[in-house]
Amino acid sequence: MKPLFLLLILISQSLAIMKMIQIFGKVTYAPFHVPYASSQNCASGCFSLNYCILSWQTSNGSCYHYSYLDRPDTIKVVETDKTEGSKVGFKTIISGTSCPSSFTDMNFNMTIPTGDTYSWQKSGNSWSLNGCRDGWKRFDRTDGVSVCMKTFLAKIQRWVARSKCVAIGTDQIGVASVEESKWIHVQMMQYNPLPKSSYAFWIDGEFKPHNCYSANFCESITWLYDRNCSIEYLY
């Protein structure tokens, strides 16, 4: 049985189940990191920062933090031997008040202020995070940008919809591929739309008159003066 290397107790009573689990390991892939000045307080520094989800103290003494606020990308971590001197710290939820006897069977997951969670996927002696909140769908676009999507059912106006997105640290987004459009259609069908009824999701985008294929089609569109429109399906 492998013992935990370090358990950092929380600093706030209101976060009684959020802790840092630090093990001997290293980050093998993560494009976006934030250098942290103090290598002596690498893990505890991450714990005190709301945006930080992982810390890495390298064998040469450098400290890096990883933020869930950055654009979604995969983070990969692998367990290493103690002799390498490299340590990673997972910010995670632990049930109960006692220190677990082993980290090998633990599920590392973190709850953010909105109530959403991020969960690490374990495979052997490695862990990976795809950069999206649990329940959100990741799409890797052809321009190299990855996005996380989720649909919400609500009969609200466009500006209210966007304000709700912003309130949870996100924003409305447009559709960039057929794959994304098909996924949105599947999400719509889960709400059991009535036959011959029109249903729509608010998305980011704009209508462009010169892209219309016929005058009749253009006449049926109400043009918007901002960058938000709806994606609509007719059943």
pLDDT at residue 96, rounded to an integer = 65
Distance CA 175, CA 99 (A): 45
Q: Which residue has the tokens 């608010």?
A: 202
72-86 confidence digits (pLDDT tens) = 678 999 999 999 999
d(CA 132, CA 203): 19
CB 45, CB 38: distance < 8 Å: yes
Which DSSP string corresponds to 187-205?
HHHTT-PPTT-EEEEEEE-
- Does the model's pTM come out above 0.85? no
157's CB contacts (< 8 A; 6+ apart) are none
Checking if the pLDDT of 98 tops 70, the result is no
Q: CA-to-CA distance for 62 and 201, rounded, in angstroms?
A: 45
Convert the pLDDT of each residue in 13-70 to its tens digit: 334 478 899 999 999 998 778 899 877 889 999 999 988 999 999 999 999 999 988 6
Long-range CB pairs of 132-140 (<8 Å, 24+ gap) are 132/72, 134/109, 137/183, 138/72, 139/176, 139/177, 139/179, 139/180, 139/183
Residue 46 has which token pair? 């991450």
Measure the CA–CA gap between 69 and 52, rounded to whole angstroms: 8
Show me where the domains of the chain are located. Answer: 6-129, 137-234
Q: What is the spatial distance between Cα 207 and Cα 228, in angstroms, rounded to a whole number?
A: 9
What's the confidence (pLDDT) of residue 34? 87
